[in-house]
Amino acid sequence: MSFRSIVRDVRDGFGSLSRRSFDVRLPGHHRGKSHGSFHDLHDQPLVVQSSRWANLPPELLCDVIKRLEESESTWPARKHVVSCAAVCRSWRSMCKEIVRSPELCGKLTFPVSLKQPGSRDGTIQCFIKRDKSNLTYHLFLCLSPALLVENGKFLLSAKRTRRTTCTEYVISMDADNISRSSSTYIGKLRSNFLGTKFIMYDTQPPHTGAHVPPPGRTSRRFSKKVSPKVPATGSFNIAQITYELNVLGTRGPRRMHCIMHSIPAASLEAGGTVPGQPELLPRSLEDSFRSISFSTEFSSSRFSEIVAGSTSNEEEDGKAKPLILKNKAPRWHEQLQCWCLNFRGRVTVASVKNFQLIAATQPPPPPPPSASGAPTGSQPPTQSEHDKIILQFGKVGKDMFTMDYRYPLSAFQAFAICLSSFDTKLACE
């Protein structure tokens, strides 16, 4: 019996159950009347939990999921792994132990992967489709090496709204319902009047019990009546993107830098990690990313607030500085008479929107050589983490752009940074 047959049999076994039995109301997100709460899910026993598949021996279940996870490594076949995590609690717990995060395996499996750091060993290749008529942007996971493709795994969507003093991009996990009142709303990006400064907001507080700066100023603040559909939680600043002003009007590429409040600069050092990483969704998972929200524990964490109570000396405080990214400076090509960057074939159309981001902070100095002059045991790598391209974005066709990101950025953070490049910046060009 093949693994696909097992998965199909499992899905048929509980396919007659209503999906409402698995819906969970997550803190800070609005759900419809037909959705139960998180506590109701635990109070009412799941029918599937008493099925024959829930009583498989742990050794057999572990072997089944391991083999399935290894064989179904790409989408759309990857959906069978997601289906296994939706069977019951025991299957979900086993998937949580076996399926690794994108940082370790380089694969996007569950919706929570969108807020986890990317791969350390390589980039996760995606593409963005722009719809100028609807002012929407859709992020897809590349399923083939071809640049101009119409098929891909949907990840995120965004809708641009022009206001009097700013431009706002609402980011959602639903391809069609892109609004702040939706349960799939996970964050937004807001610019200033000139389009030179952007603030990235998360829907959940950076860290439970930590001091959180007041939310950004919104038009709803001046309204006497707030719609009950809007989540009670505010918008929490997790990053800031700045484009340098071009006062003299000289021709050249844009200059930008990003301050990632939720990522420490020490995350790029040897043994460094991104704190507050989310875990597997504690609920049933569907084949698609849409209609699934993140709970409080999935939000980005401000590392400076996490370590504030545990660090006291100046050396530790120095390591708690936020990660700052800057665009890689292009070189001037005399023959082509243009600025050039090496995108390794992932970008084919020249555009002022194209950029590559690297770490702006310098790595720590290497240890001094020993007295005998012999090399030390730990030699620095050929390419430091500070020199690697963390995010690159570029045009490949009309309304088609590639987005490749890696550790320590997540898909949500990378997508928001790329959205800032779409905005008009007359003062920077």
* Cβ-contact 137, 428 below 8 angstroms: no
Q: Token pair 């929570």 is at which residue?
A: 112
Residue 333, pLDDT score:
81
Q: Among 83, 85, 86, 74, which residue's Cα sits nearest to residue 152?
A: 74
Residue 281, pLDDT score:
43
Residue 214, pLDDT score:
54
Rounded-to-10 torsion of CA 370, 371, 373, 378? -10
Give 73-77's long-range contacts (Cβ < 8 A, gap of 24+). 73/107, 74/143, 75/141, 75/143, 75/153, 76/143, 76/153
Q: Among 376, 360, 378, which residue's Cα sits nearest to residue 321?
A: 360
The beta strand positions in 265-337, using DSSP E, are: 322-327, 331-333
At 105 the three-state DSSP class reads helix
Residue 159, pLDDT score:
96
Q: Among 140, 201, 93, which residue's Cα sits nearest to residue 402?
A: 140
Length, in residues, of the chain = 429
Q: What is the pLDDT of residues 115-164, one digit of tens each?
A: 999 999 999 999 999 999 999 999 999 988 777 777 789 999 999 999 88
Low-confidence spans in the chain with pLDDT less than 50: 14-48, 207-213, 216, 218-233, 248, 280-299, 301-316, 318-319, 371-382
Residue 8, pLDDT score:
63
Residue 144, pLDDT score:
84
**Integer Cα distance of 164 and 68 in angstroms:** 52
The sign one gets for the Cα dihedral 275, 403, 184, 201 is positive
Residue 362, pLDDT score:
64
**Integer Cα distance of 296 and 361 in angstroms:** 30
Other beta carbons within 10 angstroms of residue 191's beta carbon come to: 24
